Structure 1
Amino acid sequence: MVIDLAFVWAGIIAFAVLAYVILDGFDLGVGILFPFFSEKHDRDVMMNSVAPVWDGNETWLVLGGGGLMAVFPLAYATILPALYAPIIAMLLGLIFRGVAFEYRWRTTRGEFLWNWAFAGGSLLAAMAQGITLGALVQGIPVVNRAYAGAWWDWLTPFSLATGLAVAVGYALLGSTWLVMKTTGELNEKARRVALRCCFATIAAMGMFSLWTPFLNPLYLERWFGWPTAMFSFIVPALVLGCFALLVVGIRNKRDAQPFLAALGLFILGFAGIGISFYPFIVPPSVTIWDAAAPESSLAFLLVGAVLLVPMILAYTAYAYWVFRGKIDPGEGYH
């Protein structure tokens, strides 16, 4: 049996990106929510809830970006020039947020600056990721295997709306994470915020589900042509099911159900993007096979991935297992 290595690697990269989005998404969401929780005690607990895992979550970003460069060099060489500005903005946001974890605990007089660095860096990174996604969905012009657009092509109403939608979705993940990890008054505040965010997120998903198919004839055919049109019924039905579980979980004061349901919404949204894109890695013209490195390189790198990815999964699972349960307000990242 011949193994389609380009397809296998597309699956690995897609999995790494999804893992990053759902794992780093909730700790970015906690930062985005910082301005809505004014009490120092609440902010301390919020930051402590993600402190043990936030840097490990970003491993998946490195794997996805590094893997894209190694196994799909044409995609890397066309996406980066098209999206330099939002990608640099994302990295700057992640830097400010990461530094805030260390410096916020070391000062009293300047704590407000690091609060804003944490919140602003989180919001900037989330918006930049959404804008990057929106620009990729709307299409990147490629001529003679090189980016053929202008510097500001990424900046459109669709990409800006996508950036805002991703930030709202991350806020949903962050608020449901706090529901799962906190107690007392902070938990109640998080539930109220989560309920608002879940309605905003589902509205955003509905809007983009109607908007995206009309950006490109390929998307329109994929969602309304047979046999792939069946996804137009299956995916929205599953989304509504996750939404119902989310609202019921919040209102019935369940801890884990809202977070798991929010993860379900993101997974389904990611699946919808995959259904729209496949087999293109740079819509609307570069397929995964066009962009792939030589077969020998894909096979050589796959050996490393087979060893590395289970190791990352193992230590990630172990970290979450060790730090499971509710946060003790008296302990943390001091």
Structure 2
Amino acid sequence: MTMDLSLFWFALIIFATLMYIIMDGFDLGVGMLFAVEHTRSRRDVMVNTVAPVWDGNETWLVLGGAALFGAFPQAYAAITDYLSVPLTLMLLGLIFRGVAFEFRVNATQSHRGFWDKSFMLGSFVATFTQGMVAGALVQGFSGSSTALFPWLTPFTVFCGIGLVVAWSLLGSTWLVLKCDGELALRMRHFSTMLLGLFLVILLGVSVFCPLTQPFIARRWFSLPGFWYLLPVPLLVGVCSFQLARTLQQNNTHRNPFVMAIMLVFLGFAGLGVSLWPFLLPPSMTLWDAAAPAASQRFMLPGALFILPVILGYTWWSYHVFRGKVNADGGYH
């Protein structure tokens, strides 16, 4: 029974993480794309595409963190202790961009530029530190390190840059879906460039991972792990081709975003297959970190109640605010 509950909570955390990646990924990407779009009216449109949904997107981060705290307390304690600095910076980035999001609409003209830069910087800091956290989890925790910041390595920095590219790709294809005119055309152009960068980053991570963790190398290059992972690069190739093709077709709006989501999902899936069953490689599995079965059972009714509620209002918010966004629409 304990094993089954641990698997359930692990699946819930993975699902919440994936939902956060998809939803808040494009949200953060839109903020970072302020760096390549300086026209005030277009920036307003970019913000208006995410304004109705951005608060709800971060619910999945809270759900995943709460589930990790309750179901796998040892892993939660180790992560928050070892990665306290990047996690704190991530939260500060999310808070700062949230404040800038609300303040920029009512700011005077002289202060508008400051809040736009704050929105962009907060988005970048949150994304970069999320990538560093992911890289540190793959890299593993070593209690023998004497470095002041043992999580700060070339690999984690590379993962941070990679996530900036990935979220920007989600953001640009989201804007292709939600916008028309010159802004949509510009985002098609940037999406094409970001796709090339994303594939280079994905290749780099694929080289780094087996060098960073020997057990990942054994899984990738031995049977049956090789067969489990083989569909991932094949599907990445198919989705990349489809994304590049649809970006050249001005009459397709939804497909680029769908293909970008698929690429990010495939990267996430490949990482999951590589790390299973470790929560904290190279030694702490999900069963090692699991809370007592009584604690997991106690939380179960709340999770089963709240999950459909979150899914319901998430679907409803995206359904109500579907369609294109133009410069005439406001959000306050």
Q: TM-score surpassing 0.5?
A: yes
**1:6-155 equivalence runs, <5 A:** 6-107=6-107, 108-141=109-142, 151-155=148-152
Q: Equivalents in 2 of 1:188, 1:111: separation in Å?
A: 25
The answer to whether the aligner puts 1:274 opposite 2:275 as a matched pair is no
Counterparts of 1:68 and 1:45, CA distance in 2 = 36
Conserved 8 A contact 1:82-1:149: no
Q: How far apart are residue 221 of structure 1 and its match?
A: 1.2
Counterpart CA distance in 2 for 1:58 and 1:95 is 11
- Distance (whole Å) between structure 1 residues aligned to residue 39 and residue 314 of structure 2: 31
Partner of residue 163, structure 1:
160
Distance between the aligned counterparts of 1:94 and 1:240, measured in 2? 33
**Residue 303 of structure 1: CA displacement?**
1.6
Displacement of 1:231 = 3.0
Shift of 1:307: 1.2
Deviates more, 1:206-215 or 1:58-67: 206-215
1:228 paired to 2:229: no
* 8 Å Cα contact 1:16/1:61 also seen in 2: yes
Distance in 2, matches of 1:256 and 1:30, equals 16
RMSD in angstroms over aligned alpha carbons? 1.4
- Cα distance in 1, alignment partners of residues 26 and 268 from structure 2: 16
Structure 1, 231-240 or 111-120: larger mean CA deviation? 231-240
2:191 is equivalent to residue 194 of structure 1: yes
**TM-score scaled to structure 1, two decimals?**
0.96
Q: How far is the alpha carbon of 1:232 from its aligned partner?
A: 3.5
Deviation (angstroms), 1:211 = 1.6
Amino acid at match of 1:287: T
SS at match of 2:11: helix
In the aligned structure 2, how far is the partner of 1:119 from the partner of 1:6?
Answer: 38
**C-alpha separation between the residues in 2 aligned to 1:2 and 1:177?**
41
Equivalent AA in structure 1 for residue 129 of structure 2: A
Task: After TM superposition, give the deviation of residue 66 of structure 1 in Å.
Answer: 1.1
Query: Secondary structure of 1:281's match?
Result: strand
Which residue, 169, 175, 181 being the options, matches 2:178?
181
Percent identity between matched residues is: 46
Structure 1 residue ranges (4+ consecutive) displaced by more than 6 angstroms after TM superposition? none
**Structure 2: which amino acid aligns with 1:223?**
W
Query: Matched residues in 2 for 1:216 and 1:184: separation?
Result: 47
1:126-173 deviations in whole A, cap 9, x for unaligned? 000000101111001259xxxx77540010000000000000000000
SS in 2 for 1:326: coil
Q: TM-score, normalising length from structure 2?
A: 0.97
Tell me how far apart the structure 1 counterparts of residues 193 and 20 of structure 2 sit (CA, whole Å): 24
Q: Deviations over 1:208-266 (max 9, x none)?
A: 11221121111011111100111342110011111111111111121000000000011
Alpha carbons of structure 1 residues 309 and 10: separation in structure 2 relative to 1, 3 Å: same
Contact map agreement 2:97 2:120 (CA 8 A) in 1: yes
Question: What is the Cα deviation at residue 206 of structure 1?
Answer: 1.3
* Residue in structure 1 matched with residue 216 of structure 2 by the alignment: 219
Give the 3-state SS of the residue equivalent to 1:252 in structure 2.
coil
Question: Whole-Å Cα distance in 1 between the matches of residues 37 and 102 of structure 2?
Answer: 20
| Number of positions where the alignment pairs a residue of Structure 1 with one of Structure 2 | 330
Please tell me the residue identity of whatever aligns with 1:89: L
User: Do the aligned partners of 1:71 and 1:298 also contact (CA within 8 Å) in 2?
Assistant: yes
- Answering whether residue 295 of structure 2 is matched by residue 297 of structure 1, we say yes
User: Contact conserved, 1:78 with 1:142, CA < 8 A, in 2?
Assistant: no
For structure 1, the 5+ residue unaligned runs are none
The counterpart of 1:237, out of the listed 230, 234, 241, is 234
Higher mean displacement: 207-216 or 42-51:
207-216
Amino acid at match of 2:69: M
Deviations 1:173-212 (A, max 9, x none): 0000000000001111111111111111111111111221
Paired with 2:35 and 2:214, the residues of 1 have a C-alpha distance of 41
